[in-house]
């Protein structure tokens, strides 16, 4: 079984890192000052998922924000934090320790699409009651990647990925570790909806799509997706979420979500 990266104690952040209050101040996150940083996507994903006990797996977790937020919210919940980047995995382990969650949070430095690596890390198929994921948004074969390696890895699937459509492989691997009756929750771009539907196929039902708009009158820039493995319930469109008022400030609902004080309203 793979061991979690050894946490590192920090009296103050090392060069290139910042220590930030998040989740309404209930979590302190050590994260890189540059590259991809914890933001709205993590807040939305943490608010969209509603596991209360059992095991949740946070796939593509970065410094662990979403998995840690869920574990912080529910004391009976254990979390596996899956991250391929060694530096971010070490920070996720450090963040788990800093926030008093190390006993319930396991950090796995693996590629979720590698079934053998999953098994060797002790991440068995059909074992998790919930999976949450914020996959990379782009394929390196289709976009120009950032020169910042960490930012590129967070936003873009690697160019040497074996999958014809890397996002499909990522989603199907996430579904493989989900127990029948368990729930997958993810955030992505609305443009990826066709690929997402192809990936889930008939593997999950009760599929709900919730568009997120940056402001009233704008096109949706994020899509939250939720579904239950093995369900045969039909697809539905959930009530949309608008993030900002005309003056640029967060709406009341969005502000409460970002502070960790409210959950996403799926309309059920």
What percent of the chain shows pLDDT beyond 70? Answer: 85
Report pLDDT for 9: 47
State pLDDT tens for residues 103-147.
999 999 999 999 999 999 999 999 999 999 999 985 645 545 455
Q: Residue 100: which pLDDT band, with cuts at 50, 70 and 90?
A: very high
Q: Which of 32-46, 102-116, 130-144, 193-207 has the lowest mean pLDDT?
A: 130-144
Rounded to an integer, the average pLDDT of 81-102 is 97
- CA torsion, points 246, 22, 40, 95, in degrees to nearest 10? 170
- Name the nearest CA neighbour of 213 among 245, 243, 248, 254: 243
On the 0-12 / 13-18 / 19+ scale of CB atoms within 10 A, 125 is middle
Report pLDDT for 50: 85
Distance from the Cα of residue 188 to its chain's centroid: 10
Question: 3.30.2350.10, 3.30.479.30, 3.30.310.40, 3.40.50.150: which CATH number matches 38-258?
Answer: 3.40.50.150
- Name the nearest CA neighbour of 31 among 187, 39, 6: 39
Rounded to an integer, the average pLDDT of 198-218 is 96
Instruction: Decide: helix, strand or coil at residue 218.
Output: coil
State pLDDT tens for residues 140-170.
455 454 555 555 454 466 655 555 689 999 9
Q: Residue 219: which pLDDT band, with cuts at 50, 70 and 90?
A: very high
Instruction: Decide: helix, strand or coil at residue 213.
Output: strand
Strand (E) or helix (H) holding 96? helix 86-98
Listed in sequence order, the residues at least 6 apart from 128 whose beta carbon sits closer than 8 Å to its beta carbon are: 54, 55, 56, 57, 80, 177, 178, 179, 182
Report pLDDT for 267: 86
Report pLDDT for 8: 47
Report pLDDT for 143: 43
Give the chain's mean pLDDT. Answer: 89
Rounded to an integer, the average pLDDT of 204-227 is 97
Report pLDDT for 179: 97
Q: Which of 14-23, 134-143, 204-213 has the lowest mean pLDDT?
A: 134-143
Give the count of beta carbons closer than 10 Å to the beta carbon of residue 193: 14
Contacts 24+ apart (CB under 8 A), 89-92: 89/4, 89/5, 90/5, 90/6, 90/7, 90/8, 91/17, 91/30, 91/31, 91/32, 91/63, 91/64, 92/5, 92/61, 92/62, 92/63, 92/64, 92/67, 92/68
Report pLDDT for 189: 96
């Amino acid at each position: 079984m793979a061991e979690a990266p050894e946490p590192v104690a920090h009296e103050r952040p090392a060069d290139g890192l910042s220590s930030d209050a998040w989740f309404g101040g209930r979590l302190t996150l050590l994260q890189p000052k540059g590259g991809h940083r914890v933001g709205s996507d993590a807040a939305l994903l943490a608010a969209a998922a509603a596991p209360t006990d059992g095991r949740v797996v946070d796939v593509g977790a970065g410094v662990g924000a979403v998995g840690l937020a869920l574990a912080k919210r529910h004391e009976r919940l254990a979390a596996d934090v899956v991250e391929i980047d060694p530096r971010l995995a070490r920070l996720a382990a450090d963040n788990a320790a800093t926030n008093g969650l190390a006993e319930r949070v396991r950090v796995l430095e693996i590629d979720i699409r590698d079934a053998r690596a999953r098994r060797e890390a002790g991440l068995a198929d059909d074992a998790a009651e919930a999976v949450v994921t914020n996959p990379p948004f782009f394929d390196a074969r289709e976009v120009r990647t950032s020169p910042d390696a960490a930012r590129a890895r967070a936003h873009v699937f690697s160019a040497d990925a074996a999958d014809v459509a890397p996002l499909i492989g990522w989603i199907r691997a996430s579904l493989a570790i989900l127990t029948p009756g368990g729930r997958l929750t993810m955030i992505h771009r609305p443009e990826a909806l066709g690929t997402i539907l192809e990936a889930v196929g008939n593997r999950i039902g009760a599929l709900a799509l919730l568009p997120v708009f940056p402001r009233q009158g704008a096109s949706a820039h994020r899509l939250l997706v939720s579904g239950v493995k093995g369900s045969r319930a039909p697809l539905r469109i959930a009530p949309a979420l608008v993030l900002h008022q005309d003056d640029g400030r967060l709406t009341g609902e969005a502000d409460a979500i970002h502070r960790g004080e409210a959950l996403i309203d799926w309309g059920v």
